Amino acid sequence: MAKQIRGADIVARTLDAAGLRTIFTLSGNHIMSLFDAALDTGLRLIHVRHEAAAVHMADAWGRLTGQCGIVWVSGGAGFTNAAAALCTARAAESPLVLLAAHAGLKELGRGAFQELRQAEMAAPVAKASWTAGSAAALGHDVAEAARKALSGRRGPVHLSLPFDLLDEKVDDAPSLWPAPSAFVPQARSLQAAAAERVLVGLATAKRPLVLVGPQLCHSGDLSQLEALEKALGTAVIPMESPRGLNDARLGAFAEVLRQADLIVLLGKALDFTLRFGDAPVVDPACRFIVIDPEAEMVERVAREKGERLAYSIVADPVPAMQALTEGARGKTDAHAWTSEVRAAVAYRPVSWATQTSTQPGKVHPLELCRALQAALATRPNAILVCDGGEIGQWPQATLSPARRVINGPAGSIGASIPFAIAARASDPTAPVIAVMGDGTFGFHMAEFDTAVRYGLPFVAVVGNDAAWNAEHQIQLREYGRNRAHGCELLPSRYDLVAQALGGHGELVTAASELPAALERAIASGKPACVNVMIERIPAPSIRRSTPQ
């Protein structure tokens, strides 16, 4: 007689065999069979304090490793907590699989515990979302979810696992187990002839630009984008910020964008971040080339730009980037225009180099960034996480680490502590520094406990302006100082929160204290919070025409 195996064991072993061994999870009645099944595998569970944090961790894992992040949560409210965080991963094109428990199939329609139309609920924030239908197919469902997350424009996939299927025993048979190829994403390469069309378009333009979307920003390997830029002789601009053209990392890029006569969108959506490519942000005569994994995106540009869409092709960004680099290598010279673009992107106001705080007991964000720069300079394998409203823009404008995770085009704040923990889990030797606002710190501060339990140190640098400053600044700009209300916070001792949960804490009220505080925090080897009292000022908006 064939050996019997539980559905839960099929799921756990399938993940193990595929090398998807780090699981971000929060327990629940319906997934305890998965916890049990994990014991007989090489899976490592990181058990968090809120389901959204587990998804944010898997999101950062996906961006940093290029491998699917995996999440296990319970059904009902465990699922809904997790689903909310898919929005960030979706916009950031981050590959992950959310495996959520679900009411038993046999009890559906009878008022089962945690009965909820989960697949429908996750659908708008996932690339694909479905409920498993049989225990024997669970391994294949898991493989399909991982493959979908990594194919085309990457993103999160949700799969609900009815708990009766997880508990069900079926005969162990070869047909249960997906072949390794079932996990391999479908790749659509850019054929040489298509690459040539793009290269001819670039060669005949006077002021071309290549814009790349979030997925190419997270490879963790900026050198690929640099190689593309070098081979093309055309500036390659990464766009993954919800601030779009006001992304402080891009300096005065907006000034050159409006002069471009050809824009190549390489896996980059035509959307709000480009102000839809409309005038005056883009010249009304500017032409477009679109290389995108989704036919819908090509159609969108065709609809919006009509005859100005010079050429389009459906292909995945990574192979397309490689094909263009190969096709152009040694054939193209750098445009003089490319140096103009680079100068605009590199522009920062001269005053920034020496800016200091004018308020006693407070640090200017630029002083904070200078101290961070020094700490990062000696740590080339560091990972920088940036989050929060106004504060997050300063490190994005001034620091250029090789590896970076930001909240991304969804514009959602709050993920940075989970991001930092997953960053460390993905590379146990990497110093991880996460810069965030005080409002942001509050979203997932309980995850310090998770980091302590799993020995995953990182440094949360809190720019504490005792405010939801981004919103406060909107009130000041739009409604006036007299009508600014409700966005204040307290100058709380977040450093003591970290200490209370077993981490290390530092309070900083003067720039001179920063270097030593940062070094102590890193050297502590614990999850640490450096709580920096900063001036409550607006984020930078960089324009050369308006000197600051």
Token pair of 56 as six digits: 């944010």
Using the rule CB under 5 A, give the single segment among 69-77, 271-279, 469-477, 496-504 that binds Mg ion: 469-477
Query: DSSP labels for 233-249?
Result: TS-EEE---TTGGG-GG
Least Å distance, CB 392 to ligand TPP, is 7
Task: CB nearer to Mg ion: give 381 or 541.
Answer: 541
| 438 near ligand TPP, judged by CB under 6 A | yes
| 438 near Mg ion, judged by CB under 5 A | yes
Give CA angle at 69 (64, 70), nearest 5°. Answer: 160
Task: CB nearer to Mg ion: give 149 or 436.
Answer: 436
**Scanning the structure block, which residue is given the tokens 């920062």?**
348
| 473 near Mg ion, judged by CB under 5 A | no
Task: CB nearer to Mg ion: give 433 or 467.
Answer: 467
Least Å distance, CB 481 to Mg ion, is 18
Q: Who contacts 448 (Cβ-Cβ below 8 Å, separation ≥6)?
A: 417, 497, 498, 501, 502, 503, 527, 529
Using the rule CB under 6 A, give the single segment among 191-199, 213-221, 233-241, 382-390 that binds ligand TPP: 382-390
Least Å distance, CB 534 to ligand TPP, is 8
Least Å distance, CB 467 to Mg ion, is 5
Task: CB nearer to ligand TPP: give 101 or 436.
Answer: 436
| 416 near ligand TPP, judged by CB under 6 A | no
Token pair of 226 as six digits: 């640099």
Using the rule CB under 6 A, give the single segment among 277-285, 299-307, 407-415, 497-505 that binds ligand TPP: 407-415
Tell which one of 220, 267, 389, 457 touches ligand TPP (CB under 6 A): 389
Report which of 419, 467, 466, 475 is spatially closest to residue 447, judged by C-alpha positions: 419
Cis ω for the linkage preceding 428 (within 30 of 0): no
Tell which one of 411, 491, 515, 538 touches ligand TPP (CB under 6 A): 411
Inter-CA distances, 41 with 140, 163, 197, 325, 335, Å: 18, 20, 49, 41, 55
Rg (CA), the chain: 24
Q: What DSSP element (H or E) covers 366?
A: helix 365-377
| 469 near ligand TPP, judged by CB under 6 A | yes
Task: CB nearer to Mg ion: give 66 or 538.
Answer: 538
Q: Which does 413 bind (CB under 5 to 8 A by kind): Mg ion, ligand TPP, none?
A: ligand TPP
Tell which one of 467, 484, 518, 521 touches ligand TPP (CB under 6 A): 467
Tell which one of 74, 469, 473, 531 touches Mg ion (CB under 5 A): 469
Alpha helices in 105-248 (DSSP H): 118-122, 138-150, 163-167, 192-204, 214-217, 222-232
Report which of 314, 288, 283 is spatially closest to residue 303, judged by C-alpha positions: 288
Q: How many residues bind Mg ion (CB under 5 A)?
A: 6
Question: Mask of contacts with ligand TPP, 471-510, x by CB under 6 A?
Answer: x---------------------------------------
Q: Is the dihedral of CA 83, 89, 93, 99 positive or negative?
A: negative
| 414 near ligand TPP, judged by CB under 6 A | yes
Tell which one of 465, 514, 530, 532 touches ligand TPP (CB under 6 A): 465
Alpha helices in 486-546 (DSSP H): 494-500, 514-523
Q: Please check whether residue 517 is in contact with residue 530, taking contact to mean a CB–CB distance below 8 angstroms.
A: yes
Least Å distance, CB 81 to ligand TPP, is 13
| 59 near ligand TPP, judged by CB under 6 A | no
Least Å distance, CB 397 to Mg ion, is 17
3-state secondary structure 91-105: HCCCCEEEEEEECCH
> Which residue type, as a one-letter code, is found at position 251?
G
Tell which one of 437, 503, 527, 540 touches ligand TPP (CB under 6 A): 437
DSSP code for 486: S
Tell which one of 93, 247, 465, 506 touches Mg ion (CB under 5 A): 465
Whole-angstrom distance, CA of residue 387 vs CA of residue 395: 10
| 62 near ligand TPP, judged by CB under 6 A | no
The contact set with ligand TPP (CB under 6 A) reads 388-391, 411-414, 437-440, 463, 465, 467-471
List contacts with Mg ion (CB under 5 A): 437-439, 465, 467, 469
